[in-house]
Amino acid sequence: MSNISNKLLRLDRYLASVTDYSRSDAKKLIKAGEITVDGLVVRDPAQGVAANAELTLNGHSLRAASSRYIMLNKPQGYICAARDRRHQTVLDLMDEDNPERLHVAGRLDIDTTGLVLLTDDGNWSHAVTSPQRKCWKRYYVETAEVINEQAQLHFSRGVFLKDDKARTLPAELEILGERVARLKICEGRYHQVKRMFGAEGNLVTRLHREAIGDIVLDADLAEGEYRYLTAAEVASVQK
């Protein structure tokens, strides 16, 4: 492995992370002497191994899978969760190995469409979702009532949402038509966009996320389709 780290990892956890084996199956393989670490057989599942250690399983070299960064064009009717008893999830739209290891960086409501980011990199996901990092999310919004021009001022100052004790962070509202707007926010409160317009006495009838930071939903992706992010798109979140 190319990136050397001094951090020691439990052998059974490491083995489960780079294969399809469960932790319990990984322990059985280790105890059976089928795993070598730097050329030596190791039978203790709890033994610590360096992140740059050379592991083999039955003579085959193992490598930690590289992190995945994916954009998906979410249709209506899907929820942003790993599993749900009543609804299909965004993971049901994907043909990926070990999809359960992916999580959504910035969820959308079941009836909201557009850009969803999925990853198995927790630090990257935090950079997307943490309000302190100010990774702006841009939405296209349609409403039932005419959008009051005063909403621009109110949103720029932050508004109080029902049952929340603090104002929203400043947001940018661009009115495109009587009932059409674009909104940029850097938070992800529960139903935030809908509740912000609700605080103005208006109802959101359509909500579509167009961009997260510098990552813009690919116009070539039909609803339900996805692709891996480019290296530049991945790096844009950390800048």
What tens digit of pLDDT does each residue of 134-192 get?
899 999 999 999 999 999 999 999 999 988 989 999 999 999 999 999 999 999 899 99
The 10s digit of each residue's pLDDT in 52-71 is: 778 898 888 876 667 899 99
Q: Tell me what pLDDT residue 100 has.
A: 77
Q: Tell me what pLDDT residue 149 has.
A: 95
3-state SS of the chain is CCCCCCCEEEHHHHHHHHCCCCHHHHHHHHHCCCEEECCEECCCCCCEEECCCCEEECCEEECCCCCCEEEEEECCCEECCCCCCCCEEHHHHCCCCCHHHCEECCCCCCCCEEEEEEECCHHHHHHHHCHHHCCCEEEEEEECCCCCCHHHHHHHHCCCCCCCCCCCCCCEEEEEECCEEEEEECCCCCCHHHHHHHHCCCCEEEEEEEEECCEECCCCCCCCCEEECCHHHHHHHHC
Res. 21 pLDDT band, cuts 50 70 90: confident
Is residue 5's pLDDT more than 80?
A: no
pTM of the model: 0.76
The 10s digit of each residue's pLDDT in 100-148 is: 778 999 999 999 999 999 998 888 999 999 888 889 999 999 999 999 9
The 10s digit of each residue's pLDDT in 191-225 is: 999 999 999 999 999 999 999 999 999 999 999 99
Is residue 7's pLDDT more than 70?
A: no
Distance between start and end Cα atoms, the chain: 26
Is residue 77's pLDDT more than 50?
A: yes
The Cα–Cα gap between 134 and 153 comes to 20
Cα distances (Å, whole numbers) of residue 129 to 71, 122, 180: 15, 11, 26
Is residue 46's pLDDT more than 60?
A: yes
Is residue 20's pLDDT more than 90?
A: no
Report the mean per-residue pLDDT for the chain: 90
Q: From the candidates 95, 109, 111, 214, which is the catalytic residue?
A: 109
The Cα–Cα gap between 154 and 100 comes to 40
- Asked about 109 being catalytic, the answer comes back as yes
Q: What is the mean pLDDT of residues 7-23?
A: 80
